[in-house]
């Protein structure tokens, strides 16, 4: 095997897609070719780098998809599933037959006194036609998907409300909604799922206002290890000076000298914003520590 | 990190487990419950594919729904000796490509269109999706995130799909060929081109 052939098979080697013979030939070549070994190491590093791009769909999305599919399947095949359901439950079939007879009687009586009621046309902005089917007897079946607004009311400690707030804090496209959700969830920050959502928002929300709100909600827990680790990460990587200042303020509230001095000295060396650097210097003075490392 | 396996058939008969074959037969007879059980064996992978390709909750949801509704409507044409997962992925593959092409066209129509299209790279969103993961492992820095986003975006839709299915979902190239309706050799070439491009774009980050 020459270098050109080896180059074309290195990826397949890493993915385990080579035959035994091909693998053997490549390994023989690698044993004697430093350039191809370097190339392989480089590819391994690229694979490792790209691993960080591995993602999962947002939490709850799979369940929402399944539930929506269930509804659509039922809409798509109502007759079949209904007959099958009744075939398995004959007692219900009798009950339904009785009820249907009563409804039919009522309808027949009603026809004498009231005009036929027509379904209002769908709003084209909120409705979407899924399919149209011609049925025996000259009828047409139109299946429409409509988006409906729902309103939920409940206390913050009630499960459905909290779940929606958590979802909104993570997924809402509108930063205002995320801000309100984070603000409300702040009152429940002692609960694990809420804490996770707040830590996540504090680090990764695209809007600095939401990140600051999440930090504010985490303030009572600034002594706890997971929060302090997050604060240190924010201080090192957040691109907003206001958020970095807030992280310093929360960290310094609990004067853990051993933990803070090295971090603050590191920030003083690296920080590009004058005010953040100044705040770090002040914090170091409050801790009776020097600004530089010696 | 290994991809989470989807359907885990106990006894394989021609690429389909006995239990799965029974569910397919029941679903073909109109048993919706059986169809939904079949869906649950494969839908995580389909959603993951749609999500990673399209990076939009709405589009991923649409691809998920359309994939399984099409499968349900065309179940009678599914041959018992075929691989159900491959069949589903083929539907999802075509839908994702359609979405990506439409998106490309719409971007081209927007003169001077920039990244304000709602698309977010894996690294921009990863920590939001996986709060349990160590952010330092996930997100080295914003510069690297931007570079990886750009590198993945520069791949053609087919290269991205092949890369996603091989690298992130761990499917064999032979299976990817069946999904894409291409030969295994063509898929190998596509993967080679994708990794060459990624290497050229990201080589200085390693």
Percent of chain A, pLDDT > 70? 77
Token output for B82: 């075929």
Task: Tell me which range, A139-148, B113-122, B173-182, is most confidently predicted by mean pLDDT.
Answer: B173-182
Q: Give me the count of residues in chain B.
A: 206
Q: Minimal CA–CA distance to A82: which of B119, B178, B30?
A: B30
Burial tier of B138 (Cβ tally within 10 Å: 0-12, 13-18, 19+):
buried
Question: Distances from the Cα of A199 to the Cαs of A49, A54, A212, in angstroms?
Answer: 24, 21, 11
User: Cα dihedral sign for B66, B72, B78, B80?
Assistant: positive
- Predicted local confidence at residue B8, as pLDDT: 39
A163-222 pLDDT, tens digit per residue, is 889 988 887 777 778 888 899 999 888 888 899 999 999 999 888 888 999 999 999 998
How far is residue A165 CA from its own chain's centroid?
Answer: 13
Residue B94 CA to residue B83 CA, distance in Å, equals 17
- Test A56 with B48 for CB contact under 8 angstroms: yes
pTM of the model: 0.50
Which chain A residue lies closest to B149 (C-alpha atoms)?
A: A53
User: What integer best gives the mean pLDDT of chain B?
Assistant: 76
Mutation target to probe the B interface, by most B beta carbons within 10 A, among A4, A8, A53 is A53
Rounded Cα distance between A237 and A239, Å, is: 6
Closest by CA to B135, choosing from B145, B150, B120, is B145
Residues of chain B contacting residue A64, judged by C-beta atoms under 8 Å apart: 61
Sign of the C-alpha dihedral computed for residues B116, B142, B126 and A186 taken in this order: negative
Is there a contact between A240 and A215 (Cβ–Cβ < 8 Å)?
Answer: no
User: CB neighbours (10 Å) of residue A262?
Assistant: 12
> Using one digit for the tens of pLDDT, what is the confidence trace for A237-268?
888 888 888 899 899 888 777 788 888 988 88
Check whether A79 has a pLDDT greater than 80: no
Q: What is the pLDDT of residue B6?
A: 43
CA distance A106 to chain B (A): 33
Hey, what domains does chain B have and what are their CATH numbers?
11-112 (1.10.1740.10)
Q: What pLDDT is attached to residue B148?
A: 79
Please check whether residue A65 is in contact with residue B61, taking contact to mean a CB–CB distance below 8 angstroms. Answer: yes
SS3 A131: strand
d(CA A150, CA A290): 58
What local confidence, expressed as pLDDT, does residue A25 receive?
92
| A 127-186 residues with CB < 8 A to B | 170-171
Token pair of B60, please?
A: 């991923």
Which burial class, exposed, middle or buried, applies to A6 when counting CB atoms under 10 A from its CB (0-12, 13-18, 19+)? buried
Residues of A in contact with B67 (CB under 8 A): none
* Long-range contacts at B102-108 (CB < 8 A, ≥ 24 apart): B103/B54, B104/B157
From residue A290, give the alpha-carbon distance in Å to each of A149, A253, A276, B69, B180: 59, 19, 17, 66, 63
Instruction: Give the pair of three-digit tokens for residue B43.
Output: 């839908």
For residue A118, what are its two tokens?
Answer: 């027509």
Give percent above pLDDT 90 in chain B. Answer: 29
Q: How confident is the model at residue B42 (pLDDT cuts 50, 70, 90)?
A: confident
Q: What is the mean pLDDT of chain A?
A: 80
What are the E-state strand segments in A120-230?
127-135, 139-146
The CB-side HSE value for A286 (13 A sphere, CA atoms) comes to 16
- Shortest distance between the Cα of B166 and any Cα of chain A, in A, equals 8
State whether residue A66 sits within 8 Å of chain B by CB: yes
B36 CB neighbours in chain A (<8 A) are: 66, 69-70, 73
A187 DSSP 8-state letter: G
- Written in H, E and C, the secondary structure of chain B is CCCCCCCCCCCEECCEEHHHHHHHHHHHCCCHHHHHHHHHHHHHHHHHHHHHHHCCHHHHHHHHHHHHHHHHHCHHHCCCCCCHHHHHHHHHHHHHHHHHHHHHHHHHHCCCCCCCCCCCCHHHHHHHHCCCCCHHHHCCCHHHHHHHHHHHHHCCHHHHHHHHHHHHCCCCHHHHHHHHCCCHHHHHHHHHHHHHHHHHHHHHHC
Neighbours of B55 (CB within 10 A): 21
């Amino acid at each position: 095997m020459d270098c050109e052939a080896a180059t074309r098979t290195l990826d397949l080697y890493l993915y385990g897609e080579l035959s035994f013979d091909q693998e053997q030939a490549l390994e023989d070549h690698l044993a004697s070719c430093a350039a191809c070994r370097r190339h392989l190491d480089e590819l391994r590093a690229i694979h490792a780098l790209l691993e960080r791009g591995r993602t999962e769909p947002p939490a709850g999305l799979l369940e929402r998809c399944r539930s929506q599919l269930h509804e659509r399947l039922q809409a798509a095949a109502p007759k079949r599933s209904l007959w099958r359901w009744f075939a398995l439950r004959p007692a219900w079939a009798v009950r339904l037959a009785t009820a249907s007879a009563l409804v039919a009687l009522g309808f027949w009586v009603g026809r004498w006194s009231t005009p036929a009621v027509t379904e209002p046309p769908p709003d084209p902005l909120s409705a979407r036609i899924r399919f149209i089917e011609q049925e025996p007897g000259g009828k047409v079946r139109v299946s429409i998907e409509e988006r409906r607004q729902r309103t939920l009311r409940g206390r913050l400690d009630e499960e459905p409300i909290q779940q929606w707030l958590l979802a909104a804090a993570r997924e809402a496209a509108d930063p205002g909604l995320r801000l309100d959700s984070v603000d409300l969830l702040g009152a429940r920050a002692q609960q694990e799922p809420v804490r996770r959502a707040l830590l996540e928002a504090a680090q990764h929300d695209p809007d600095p206002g939401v990140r600051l709100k999440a930090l504010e909600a985490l303030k009572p827990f600034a002594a706890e290890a997971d929060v302090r680790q997050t604060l240190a990460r924010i201080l090192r990587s957040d691109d907003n000076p206001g958020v970095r200042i807030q992280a310093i303020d929360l960290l310094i509230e609990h004067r853990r000298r051993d933990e803070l001095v090295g971090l603050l000295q590191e920030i003083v060396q690296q920080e590009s914003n004058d005010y953040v650097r100044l705040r770090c210097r002040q914090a170091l003075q409050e801790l009776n520590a020097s600004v530089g490392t010696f | 990190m290994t991809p989470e396996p989807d359907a885990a058939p106990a006894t394989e008969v021609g690429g389909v487990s006995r239990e799965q074959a029974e569910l397919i037969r029941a679903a073909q007879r109109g048993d919706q419950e059986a169809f939904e059980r079949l869906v649950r064996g494969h839908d995580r992978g389909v959603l993951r594919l749609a999500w990673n390709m399209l990076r939009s909750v709405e589009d991923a949801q649409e691809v998920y729904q359309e994939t399984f509704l099409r499968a349900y409507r065309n179940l009678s044409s599914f041959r018992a000796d075929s691989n159900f997962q491959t069949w589903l992925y083929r539907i999802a593959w075509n839908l994702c490509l359609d979405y990506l092409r439409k998106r490309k066209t719409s971007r081209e129509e927007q003169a001077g269109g920039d990244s304000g299209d709602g698309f977010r790279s894996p690294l921009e969103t990863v920590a939001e999706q996986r709060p349990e993961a160590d952010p330092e492992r996930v997100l080295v820095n914003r510069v690297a995130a931007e570079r990886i986003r750009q590198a993945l975006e520069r791949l053609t839709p087919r290269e991205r799909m092949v890369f996603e299915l091989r690298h992130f979902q761990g499917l064999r190239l032979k299976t990817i060929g069946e999904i894409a309706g291409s030969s295994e050799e063509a898929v190998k070439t596509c993967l080679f081109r994708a990794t060459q491009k990624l290497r050229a774009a990201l080589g200085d980050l390693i």
